[in-house]
Amino acid sequence: MSDIAVNVNRARLRNEHEEMKAGAAHVLTDAHGKKSCCFSLLRVLCKSAYGLALGQIGSGRMSVTRITRSLGASSLIFVLASCVTSSHEARMELGKRDWQYSPEGFVQAVALGDQEAVRLFLAAGIDVDTRGKRTGDTALMIAIRNNRLQVAKLLLKKGANPHDQTEEDNVLTHALASRSRKMLEFAQEISGERLPAPPTITIFLTGDGDVSVPLQMVCIPAGSLESGSATNEHLLSGSAFTVGHSFYMGKHEVTQAQWGAVMGYYHPSRFLGRQRPVEQVSWNDCQAFIQGLNALGQGVFRLPTLVEWEYACRAGSTSRYHWGDDPQYLLIYAWASTASKGPSGTQAVGLRLPNAFGLFDMTGNVREWCQDAAEDVRPPSRYVRGGCYGGGENLCRSGYKQHEFETTNGPSIGFRVVMEGS
């Protein structure tokens, strides 16, 4: 290559270098002529091949021009200019959306769940672990507390630290404050910790219009039972059985109001009343209800198994009834019939005393469908447990069980649900 060609090439490269420097200087200068180098973006760029140099710029120890000269690399200016240009455009777009570029604006966008604004703040160089001025909580904690799951996932993807916490102030405590099961599961996943299952949770079902119908679920802990009562009352599975998992069970039998909230109609029951248990429902009807309940996305529900039902009913007891062996207490704990008196139909749930787990009407009111199929019975049949308003003391024993055809829908049969994965 001739000397003339070499000189021309050097001149062209020098011109390109000066143009890039001028372009970078333009985007690094705001409308007031003051340097507004986006240091947070520069810190991000520290991961690049120019990390050391850019770290020096971000700390203020070296100027852009000096570091460019020391590296002799016009590509640095190109990278820097393009990144800061993106930051500038993001800030301009935030302005169009009436968002002030500031930590307060960022945490407000997070709290409101404005995903697009959050993305723009991050693109404009805001620190993903910015803290709210009022509470001192990180943006991730603010997203979790306000039940902004998608924003929380975005912040986590952008590098938010889920372990920036104290014992009293952490992602789990904020997830509890959100009152969202999904958010609690998310917080437990990202923190690697689990909270003890709360003793009772409430799920709100969609009701008529804007009315929500509560469905209360009680946590039943794992455990074992052994027989050995004074009356030699045999347990379901012989001398002992174990439930190796905790689960949630309905605090009450499913009411007509809850049935209507899920199914959209109330007509199955013979004894009408919103707080009375729904009855005249077959095992197949229960499956339709559970399918609708699961479609709400608030958990995985089903009927209890025979073992789960009896374990929950006994609540640690091995006697004839969950309160002991004396049938004289039957009408304190159950709507059932005795030699002297008894109800003429179902009653509102929760009016008698509960068992030791806090479950109401496990004895009496309506018999309750279980998931298990009765063996060697045709047509297909399923077990029912718990006695009913017309049943005597023998039918109300904790260990007593019957089976009915899956299509049976008498006025003495209802059900309660369990929820998996406590």
Instruction: Please provide the DSSP assignment of 332-343 as one string.
Output: HH-B---SS---
Smallest CA-to-CA distance from 81 within 108, 53, 138, 41 is with 41
pLDDT per residue over 227-261, tens digit each? 544 344 545 545 577 888 889 999 999 999 999 99
What was the pLDDT predicted at 148?
Answer: 93
Q: Rounded mean pLDDT of the chain?
A: 78
CA 214 to chain centre: 17
What was the pLDDT predicted at 7?
Answer: 52
Q: From CA 377, how far away is CA 412, in angstroms rounded?
A: 21
Average of per-residue pLDDT across 311-333: 88
Tell me if 420 sits within 8 A of 247, measured CB to CB.
Answer: yes
Q: Is the pLDDT of residue 278 over 50?
A: yes
CB atoms within 10 A of CB 260: 19
Q: Is the pLDDT of residue 205 over 70?
A: yes
Could you tell me the CA-to-CA distances from 386 to 160, 208, 390 in Å, in that order? Answer: 51, 31, 12
User: Rounded to the nearest 10 degrees, what angle do helices 74-96 and 3-27 cross at?
Assistant: 30
Q: From CA 254, how far away is CA 206, in angstroms rounded?
A: 15
Tell me if 393 sits within 8 A of 334, measured CB to CB.
Answer: no
Residue 398: DSSP 8-state: T
pLDDT per residue over 109-135, tens digit each? 999 999 999 999 998 889 888 887 766
Q: Which amino acid is at 358?
A: G
What was the pLDDT predicted at 63?
Answer: 47
DSSP states of 11-80: HHHHHHHHHHHHHHHHHTB-TTS-B---HHHHHHHTTSTTHHHHHHHHTTSS-HHHHHHHHT-HHHHHHH
Q: Identify the structural domains of the chain with CATH numbers, from first to last.
A: 3-96 (no CATH), 106-191 (1.25.40.20), 200-419 (3.90.1580.10)
Tell me if 357 sits within 8 A of 269, measured CB to CB.
Answer: no
Tell me if 367 sits within 8 A of 388, measured CB to CB.
Answer: yes
Is the Cα torsion angle 31, 33, 34, 36 positive or negative in sign? positive
pLDDT per residue over 364-397, tens digit each? 999 999 999 988 888 899 999 999 998 888 888 9
Q: From CA 277, how far away is CA 414, in angstroms rounded?
A: 7
What was the pLDDT predicted at 51?
Answer: 42
Q: How far apart are the first and last CA of the chain?
A: 77
Average of per-residue pLDDT across 96-103: 85
Q: Is the pLDDT of residue 68 over 70?
A: no
Q: What percent of the chain has pLDDT over 70?
A: 71
